[in-house]
Structure 1
Amino acid sequence: MATIKQVSELSGVSQATVSRVINGSSRVSHDKKLRVEKAIQELDYRPQSISHSAALNRSGCIGLVIPELAGPYYGNIMSTIEETLRPLGYQLLVTAGGQSEQSEQTAVEFLFSRRVDALLLYTSYLSDDYLIEISKQKLPMVVLSRFIPELHNSCIEMDDELGGKSATKHLIELGHRRIACITGPLSKPDARARLQGYRTVLEEANIAYDSRLVVEAGFTELTGAKAMEKLLNRKLDFSAVFCCNDLMAIGAIETLNELDSPQKEPISVMGFDNIIFSQYVTPALSTIHYPIEKMSVEAVHLLLQKINKKKLDVQFKFTPTLVVRESTMALAPL
């Protein structure tokens, strides 16, 4: 049976660092976490705390609620969480929250019934009050990609409004003044925050907000394509569009590529998320990088800290970054 010393030697870190990674007890760099987790997996090391989970009345299972099981974005989240948990001896139980408050509540209740050791929630429709209430049930819980002031020590979030600002500012710096926006469902806080970032930067640049240039869509490729069709059918003058996720941007690009008549000037398209496919569309998509993998890893380690009653020491808030590719171009002078 592999020992913690062997894990330490293979990963090139101290035994204390290995122990911290296993227990989530203290801050460890992302690189060292990955090295330790890889060594644990290669050696098939079973942490003692997990081996004795039955004695501790633990199931060794973490419950995850996620909006849907399909697609590159959510698939990446699930695989990252599972790959982080598995070397540490935990299994992941995943259920889809669906597209309503009731379905998300049902998903949470299902995980409670399975007696998981902790909950990781990526939800859009559950109210803050509901999440605050279930947090009182003494089951460790982390909320991913959302911030609730009363649960500030349980939330791993990214600044979506800043991402919307960065995307819009990039287009303005390229000379664009008439910038459309394809939003996600405005019932979702991240969609509202990204739209607010767009509006704020327009105001700062003394560009009038035009509601006719804004179309609500569904965070999918098909709805993005239809939203772009709607914008074009309105016969409005715009030279760029900020799509509030990459799938919608890819759909918008498909619509533009299928136009029967060439445009006077190509329309710049900006995405959000930096999913793997964004670099392979034509033209390659400029986007905002959402560090969801690092956020997911931090969420796992925050859960471990809560399970093991250790000091909470993770990165709670992440900053988006601009990724410039070929889909955004400087506006040609008149």
Structure 2
Amino acid sequence: MVTIKDVAKAAGVSVATVSRVVNNGPKVSDKKREEIKKIMADLGYRPNANARALVSQKSTTIGVVVPDISDPFFAVLANGIDKVAREHNMQILLSTGGHTAESERQAINLLLERRCDTIVMHSKKLPAEELVGFSKAVKGFVVIDRYIKAIAERCIWLDNLEGGRIAGRHLLMLNHQNCACIMSNFAIDDPVHRHNGFKEVLEASGVALAPELVKYAEPNPQGGKLAAQELLASGKPFSAIFVYNDAMAIGVVTTLEDNGFRVPQDVSVIGFDNGILAQFSRPKLTTLDYPVEEMAQHAAKLSMALAAKDQTPPKQEQKYVPLLVKRESAARM
């Protein structure tokens, strides 16, 4: 492996001079700088990122923590951060947090060991107090998809309560009086808020959401299938279903049609996320748009801005609200 000493010897300069070139430091003429860069390229020298961070006190990576890289939602999130990183000649370092507090803790500690001073973290399991502590230790620490009042200025989050309300208003506008709800069984705030917003709007209009018509399952197509089967087995009539996410909604639609129900003629279905599945399902899925890529880019830019400054940013909410995307799976009664 070619070292910085090899470059210095080939260029006839000191290691310190090569280091200045690597770190864009002063006291090197433009001519000499170009000569050294050419020698570095010819020799195939690659600067050590950790060593550069030690010298410059600035990491060239954006640390990213997501629960599961196999989930398309988190792939889109990571891609949004990666776009911003590349615009600033940086790379992302991805660490998976799983679905437990301990695995999330291990994921962020791994990034801290790599000297990441810009970190965007998706955390649903770590206590809020612990995330506040990380925000004090890491200048560029940002939380995405979660609101923590104590560090509101570092949180990029979606108003899931309002998302549930929007779904409820739309189904009421379509004259649905017997509504069902299928939510994720993960012990996180998102399904709770979406369900509560949905129920709130229905009850305000005098429409009850029967407990037998609220089902929980894993947030994937198989979970949607199982929850839909439970709804059908309940014997309770329903004309519309609000589903936690698009993946579950696809399983719901398939199960309904396998059992002789037409969507939306017999049962309307509304999903959540507006991912790629919603656009290519049959029928095309009416859903709530979750602007995850836009939020991820916002989080990355905020993280970099915080890392570059010593002052604390002003406390302000950075909230996003989902938008209804009308397609083919929801219709008037």
The match for 1:218 is 218
2:162 matches 1:150: no
Deviations 1:66-111, CA, capped at 9 Å, x for gaps: 0100132111111111111112011101111112111111111111
Deviations 1:235-256, CA, capped at 9 Å, x for gaps: 1100000001111101101111
CA contact (8 A) 2:117 2:138 kept: no
Residue 254 and residue 143 in structure 1: after superposition, are their counterparts in 2 closer, same or farther (change >3 A)?
same
RMSD (Å), alpha carbons = 2.0
Residue 293 and residue 197 in structure 1: after superposition, are their counterparts in 2 closer, same or farther (change >3 A)?
same
CA contact (8 A) 2:146 2:156 kept: yes
Answer with 313-322 or 213-222: which moved more.
313-322
What's the secondary structure of 2:249's corresponding residue? helix
The CA deviation at 1:318 is 1.1
The match for 2:200 is 200
Structure 1 portions without partners, runs of 5+ = 1-51
Q: Which amino acid aligns with 1:320?
A: P
The match for 2:324 is 322
What's the secondary structure of 2:56's corresponding residue? coil
Percent of paired sites with the same residue: 32
2:164 matches 1:164: yes
Q: Which amino acid aligns with 1:234?
A: S
What's the secondary structure of 1:64's corresponding residue? strand
Structure 1 segment 12-51 matched on structure 2, within 5 A: none
Q: TM-score, normalised by structure 2?
A: 0.80
Q: Which amino acid aligns with 2:164?
A: G
Deviations 1:171-224, CA, capped at 9 Å, x for gaps: 111010111000113511111111111111111111123111000122111101
Deviations 1:113-150, CA, capped at 9 Å, x for gaps: 22112211111111111111222214420000110000
Deviations 1:17-62, CA, capped at 9 Å, x for gaps: xxxxxxxxxxxxxxxxxxxxxxxxxxxxxxxxxxx85542223111
The match for 2:288 is 288
Residue 301 and residue 315 in structure 1: after superposition, are their counterparts in 2 closer, same or farther (change >3 A)?
farther
The match for 2:124 is 124
Q: Which amino acid aligns with 2:140?
A: P
Cα distance in 1 for partners of 2:101, 2:54 equals: 34
Cα distance in 2 for partners of 1:98, 1:138 equals: 21
Cα distance in 2 for partners of 1:70, 1:238 equals: 33
Answer with 186-195 or 312-321: which moved more.
312-321
CA contact (8 A) 1:186 1:192 kept: no
The match for 2:274 is 274
The match for 1:26 is none
- Structure having the higher Rg: 2
The CA deviation at 1:307 is 1.0
Q: TM-score, normalised by structure 1?
A: 0.79
Residue 262 and residue 271 in structure 1: after superposition, are their counterparts in 2 closer, same or farther (change >3 A)?
closer
How many residues are matched? 280
The CA deviation at 1:264 is 11
Cα distance in 2 for partners of 1:315, 1:152 equals: 6
The CA deviation at 1:259 is 1.6
